[in-house]
Amino acid sequence: MKNPLSKHGPSVLVAAVVLSMTAVAGAQTAVEQSSDWKAANEAVGQFKRGHADLLKWEAANGAEAPKDAAAATGFPVPSLEVATRLAWRPHLELQKVLPRLGEANVDRIVQGRWQEVDARHQRRIEGVDEVFEVAAEARRAWLRAVAAKQSVRLQRASLEAAEAATELGRRMVKVGNWSAYQQSRVELGLASERRALQQATVAARQAERTLLHTLQLNGVHERLALPDTLPDLPKRTLSPAELNTELAEIQAQLPRVEQWKAEANFGQALASRDATLSVARGLRDDVMAQRNLIVDESVLQYNGMLKSVWELLTEVQAHAQAQRETIDAVRDYWLADTDLMWVLQGGEPTAFVSPGGAAGGEAAAAGH
């Protein structure tokens, strides 16, 4: 997923907190002579332009959270297209169906342009329904795995900031400028961040295992090399009128009872797609824009010694939480879009995605 304001990536935001620790460590005497948190911040003054130089130092010295070496060397599944083709491969019965669909239609399916596949193939070619079902399962598993990986990366950055702030607090306690009571709250925050990272890591590993199982690569490969971000939201989606035309085409290929089911499923799938898209765009375009503005202003106030490092940390962590919510929302949109495409090919999802709901992950997974 493209970051709407890439300068607010995890490493850049954490730098404002982490590098304050670097400055303090490099100017220990100045910190120990400080009478309050403002004096501690003055240690940053050893850099000519304050955090502007600190951020440059961070970029030059590798601010990104350490990557998972095992995952980086895993079997590459860089896109939805690759995941779909890999999912078809072990299904030997589909190796006769795909050639009959033709290369052009196969390309349309892997690229997510299912509505461009002639619905009449449902009657003409036996096994086409399984082609779409397997593709839908692969898309869902890949989306969840990539989103989970992206969330771990953000959580790791948030923990790094909490660790730096906690260490700074311990030093302030040591020189008598910070009470044990005040530090206890920071320590609890650090424990919470560590717990959150553990939970996110476990969730990401489970999602990766599910993808391995879906692609039938378990037992062959231990890890997968996945992209760092989800695909961005589409600039344009098919309108209800266009989708209704597609619905009519698929209904014409189905028995009467199945036509009614398709219409009912279409209504739920369309509502889910529209709701998840609205939430995802709102988070990406509105909430994140405000969070970016708040962080920018907080850094300026911190540089001007109007905010403490712990107040800045609070804003950085709130920004990271908003990013995680945005990731989940974008994932939910793509899951809902997959369900809608599948319904328009005669598929019957047993659960539909609700914004921020479990159906975006566990519930939908249980249904397929």
Pair of tokens at residue 149: 């990986």
**Tens digit of each residue's pLDDT (9 = 90 or more) over 209-241:** 999 999 999 989 999 999 999 999 999 999 999
365 CB-near residues (< 8 Å, 6+ apart): 140, 141, 144, 210
pLDDT at 160: 87
Least confident of 58-67, 77-86, 180-189, 236-245: 58-67
* Residue boundaries of the structural domains of the chain: 6-366
DSSP string, 267-293: HHHHHHHHHHHHHHHIIIIIIHHHHHH
Please, is 203 exposed, middle or buried when counting C-beta atoms within 10 Å of its C-beta (0-12, 13-18, 19+)? middle
The pLDDT of residue 242 is above 50 = yes
6-366 maps to CATH 1.20.1600? yes
The reported pTM is 0.82
